[in-house]
Homo-oligomer: A and B are copies of this chain.
């Protein structure tokens, strides 16, 4: 099994609300909701760097297709990191997310691992880290 991730899907309670947060709030381009003609198919895709995609998908659809329980939500299950080029950019992205309605759980600050970062939760509680990391292994193109 090759170490490869092609797509990250965030399960959401309200597809329109999440579309508004990511498209209008954070400014990420998307075609909007597609796939409505398929059962459990309504989904929003964002093209990320280098062929990666992020999807927003109703939690009920994910639960039905993956055959898992739809109930419950925990913040400390995973996080997605968005690395940036400068410390100032961390502040800017957090301000943008806050204006878009994100809950900032951890304001921008210098970290023991040598960088500068902050955390926020999207409307469903999904956890994002916005990070500037001087370690060249985490350099952003």
Interface residues of A in 17-72 (CB under 8 A from B): 26-29, 35, 38-41, 46-54, 59, 62-63, 65-72
Q: How many residues of A contact B (CB 8 A)?
A: 68
Main secondary structure of the interface of A (DSSP, over half): mixed
The reply to whether B119 and A65 form a contact with Cβ atoms under 8 Å apart is: yes
Report chain B residues within 8 Å CB of A39.
112
Nearest B-chain residue to A70, judged by Cβ? B76
The reply to whether A80 and B127 form a contact with Cβ atoms under 8 Å apart is: no
Report chain B residues within 8 Å CB of A141.
51
CB distance from A138 to the nearest CB of B (A): 7
The interface bits of chain A over 74-95 (1 if a CB of B lies within 8 angstroms of the residue's CB, else 0) are 1111111111000000000100
The reply to whether B78 and A77 form a contact with Cβ atoms under 8 Å apart is: yes
Report chain B residues within 8 Å CB of A51.
50, 141
The reply to whether B48 and A4 form a contact with Cβ atoms under 8 Å apart is: yes
Among B26, B48, B65, B140, contact of A106 (Cβ-Cβ < 8 Å): B65
The reply to whether A76 and B63 form a contact with Cβ atoms under 8 Å apart is: yes
CB distance from A21 to the nearest CB of B (A): 12
> Hey, which bits of chain A sit against chain B, CB under 8 A?
1-11, 26-29, 35, 38-41, 46-54, 59, 62-63, 65-83, 93, 96-97, 105-106, 111-113, 119, 121, 126-127, 129, 131, 138, 140-141
